[in-house]
Amino acid sequence: MDDMRATYMYAVGDVRVTDAPDPTIQQPTDAIVRTTRACVCGSDLHPYHSMPASEDGAAMGHEILGVVEEVGSEVRTVSPGDLVIAPFALSCGVCEFCRAGLQTSCVRGGFWGDPGFGTAGTQAEAARVPLADGSLVPVPGVGADADEALLNSLLTLTDVYGTGWHAAHMAKVGPGSTVTVIGDGAVGLLAVLSAKQLGAERIILMGRHQVRTDLGRDFGATDVVAERGEEGIAAVRELTDGGSQVVLEAVGHMPAYEQSVGIVRPGGVISRVGVPQYEEAPVGFGSLFGGNITLTGGPAPVRAYTEQLLPAVLDGTVDPGRVFDRTVGLEETAEAYRLMDDREALKVALRP
C-alpha cells in the first residue's frame, strides 16, 4: 500500500504530519479525492486545547477542495478529474433529513475523522469520501489550477461560509433586518457577509481585532463594537435602542452566549453556529423565556447551501475567501495551528 502525508493530533498542542496509507475505495459509494486545498478550522482549536493524549492520534481536518481521482461503482454525480467541494458533514442526499436540507442529521452520514464512520481527516494529501453522490459538489469549469483567490473562496463553501449562512438563514434574516454578529473569526465574518446578502439593513459586528473587523466592514458590517461583556451589551443596546432583533453567535463559549442573551431584543432570535463548549446555559424567565426569545442554530448543513452560494462565488460578486490570510504547505500544518491559536492568522489554508 502506498503512503501519503496526513495530519494527526496526539495531545494538547501536539499536531504532526506523518506517513499514512493512501486512501482506497472501500464502498461502491466512495470517491477518492486528491487535495487541492485543505485548512485548519476554528473548531480544530478546541481539541488543540483539550485533547487527552493518545498514542494513535486523531486524524484531523474536515474541509477539502480537491480533484476526484477514483470513484466507486455506484457513484453517479462526480467523475475522475472533477474539482469538487466536500462539506464538513458527509451525507447520503436522499434520506428525510437530507431532503429537508438538514444533512448534518443524515441517517447514513457522519463527520470526518469519526472512527465509527470510517473516514480519516482532510488535512492530508488525499481523502476517501464516503457517500460521494450526496456529499460532493462538482465545480463546473474550474480546475485545481484556478487562481488562489477563487480556490480560497471555493474552500469556504466546505464549512465557514455555509456556517455563517446557516446562522443567518436559521434566524430568518431578510430585507431590513437588524443583525448583531458575535465573533470576528471566519464564521462570524461570513455571517456578516451572509446577512448582507440576505438584505439586512444594519449589521453590528462585535469583535476586537481591527484587521478582522475591517474585513467585516468590507463584508457589510455597518457598525463595530469592540467592547465585550456588560460594556459590549450596553453598547449594542444603545445602538439598537433596546436590543438586536437577530443575534448570530459564532463563538461557542459561554460569555458569547451570555452576551447574546444580553443584547437580544424581546421577541428576537439568537442563532448559534459556534460549537457550544458548555452543556447547560440560562434559558429561564430571566434570560430567554420572559422576552419570548427564540434560540436556534446548530451544526450547519452546508451541503444544503452550496448550489445557492456557488454562483456569486464563481462570478466574483462575493469573495468569502478573503478570510484566508495565510496559505502554508501541508508539512507546516502544525505551524498553521499555532498561527491560528496565537491569533497571528485568521484562517490558514493548507496546500499539499
Residue ranges binding a copy of itself (CB under 8 A): 97, 100, 102, 104-105, 170, 266-267, 272, 275-276, 278-299, 301
The nearer residue to a copy of itself, 3 or 238, going by C-beta atoms, is 238
Q: How far is the CB of 79 from a copy of itself (least distance, A)?
A: 32
- CB of residue 287 to a copy of itself, shortest distance in Å: 7
Which H helix or E strand runs over 223? strand 223-225
Closest distance of CB 199 from a copy of itself, Å: 19
Q: In whole angstroms, how far apart are CA 211 and each of 164, 197, 250, 325?
A: 19, 22, 18, 10
β-pair partners for 89: 111
Closer to a copy of itself by Cβ: residue 78 or 302: 302
Nearer to a copy of itself, 106 or 345 (CB): 106
Residue closer to a copy of itself, measured from CB, 82 or 249: 249
Nearer to a copy of itself, 34 or 169 (CB): 169
Q: 161 vs 257, which CB is nearer to a copy of itself?
A: 257
CB closer to a copy of itself, 266 vs 311: 266
Whether the CB-CB separation of 235 and 256 falls below 8 Å is answered with no
Question: Distance between CA atoms of 112 and 131, rounded to whole angstroms?
Answer: 12
Least distance between a copy of itself and beta carbon 225 (Å)? 22
Q: Which is nearer to a copy of itself, 13 or 282 (CB)?
A: 282
Smallest gap from residue 176 Cβ to a copy of itself (A): 13
What is the rounded distance in angstroms from the CA atom of residue 315 to the CA atom of residue 97? 31
Cβ proximity to a copy of itself: between 125 and 249 the closer is 249
**Residue 116 has which C-alpha cell?**
465509527
Distance CA 175, CA 158 (A): 26
> Residue 127 pairs with which residues in a beta bridge?
33
Rounded (5°) CA angle 172-192-320: 115
For residue 167, count other CB atoms closer than 10 A to its CB: 33
Q: Give the chain's end-to-end CA distance (angstroms, integer).
A: 20
Sorted by sequence, the CB contacts under 8 Å of residue 83 that are 6+ apart come out as 36, 65, 66, 67, 138, 139, 142, 143, 144, 146, 154
* Smallest distance, a copy of itself to C-beta of residue 187, A: 14
Report the Cα 43 to chain-centroid distance in Å.
Answer: 8
Instruction: Compute the least distance from the CB of residue 300 to a copy of itself, in Å.
Output: 9
* SS3 labels along 80-124: CCCEEEECCEECCCCCHHHHCCCHHHCCCCEECCCHHHCCCCCCE
| Cβ neighbours of 21 (radius 10 Å) | 11
Cβ neighbors of 115 (< 8 A, separation 6 or more) are none
Nearest-approach distance from CB 175 to a copy of itself, in angstroms: 17
